[in-house]
Structure 1
């Protein structure tokens, strides 16, 4: 960590930096996947989904920027290169997803997983004594939940949750 006058103890800052780096890698990964979909989407709802994905990409980039700035403010170094994201997210597929339903399904799964991770990270950073990082992650969580809702509204997946309960 770089020296800083930030009031948080170094162990709290280190934990928050790790959380934020994981969240940053996930956000960049999702932003790239959304942009890839934006470029390659085809089908009867092309323009609506094309425009939706452009907006989602911009929001995810804003979220990544906010998290990276918090990470650096805590004394960390924001690793946002494609190589660092690939290292942090080794299970990410490099396949180009074609077709409206497969693309949206993949994005829904990605946003849902990120949302679940964010909830855990919000709790973790709050309990460790870093309410400001928890607040940053809460802001991102609200955006992810709203984006997930928008994505689900464009698919047949909107009618049934993964647990099988009606939405």
Structure 2
């Protein structure tokens, strides 16, 4: 059946393309955070191990929400490493960084996702897509707050 939600096909496609980048960024940051959770060492081990677990669990929920919004707009969500690697703006980490470098790297990832969200807002505004705007606002809130809290650990 045709999607008839008051947003034309061209706008739905453009918004979905932006959301696909957001999905790839979110999944990439999820993997990176999970990796750091497993591999962090040093005097901050216990607190960072716990913190990173909370963060990757939150990102796992976000991945599902973003993918489901793409589907609600009538498009297919990317769902493979290959697709995510092409779309993401977040760089993979080489090796296992030291704990403070993990923190700095995660700050960059959260800030990158906040920027990705902002890049989608104009298309959503044009289409009066308040549902996607709400998702983007929620994601920016989480990522900006998380980046601030992580930055505070290495100030």
Q: How does 1:7-86 map to 2 (within 5 A)?
A: 7-86=6-85
Question: Per-residue CA shift, 1:51-98, capped at 9, x if unaligned?
Answer: 000011011111111111110000011112212111223773352332
- The aligned length equals 155
CA distance in 2, matches of 1:88, 1:103: 22
- Give the conservation status (yes or no) of the 8 Å contact 2:110–2:147: yes
Deviating more after overlay: 14-23 vs 142-151: 142-151
The answer to whether the 8 A contact 2:90-2:109 is kept is no
Distance 1:108 1:134, change over 3 A: same
For the aligned residue pairs, the C-alpha RMSD in angstroms reads 1.7
Runs of 4+ in 1 over 6 A off after TM superposition: none
Structure 2 gap segments, 5+ residues each = none
Instruction: Report the CA distance shift for 1:115/1:90 in structure 2 as closer, same or farther (over 3 A).
Output: closer
Q: Could you say which structure has the greater relative contact order, defined with CA pairs below 8 angstroms and 6 or more residues apart?
A: 2
1:82-132 deviation line (CA, Å, top 9, x unaligned): 121112237733523321111111111111121122123223312333221
Alignment of 1:83-98 (within 5 A): 83-89=82-88, 92-93=91-92, 95-98=94-97
SS at match of 1:27: helix
Mapped to 2, the partners of 1:132 and 1:69 lie a distance apart of 12
The whole-number CA distance in structure 1 between the counterparts of 2:69 and 2:51 is: 27
Residues in 2 aligned to 1:101 and 1:59: alpha-carbon distance in whole angstroms: 21
Give 1 or 2: higher helix fraction: 2
TM-score of the superposition, structure 1-length normalised? 0.85
Q: Please, what TM-score do these two structures have when normalized by structure 2?
A: 0.91
Could you tell me which residue of structure 2 aligns to residue 101 of structure 1?
Answer: 100
Q: What is the alpha-carbon distance in structure 1 between the residues aligned to residue 6 and residue 151 of structure 2?
A: 41
Unaligned runs of 5+ in 1: 157-167
Q: How far apart, CA to CA, are the structure 2 residues paired with 1:141 and 1:112?
A: 9
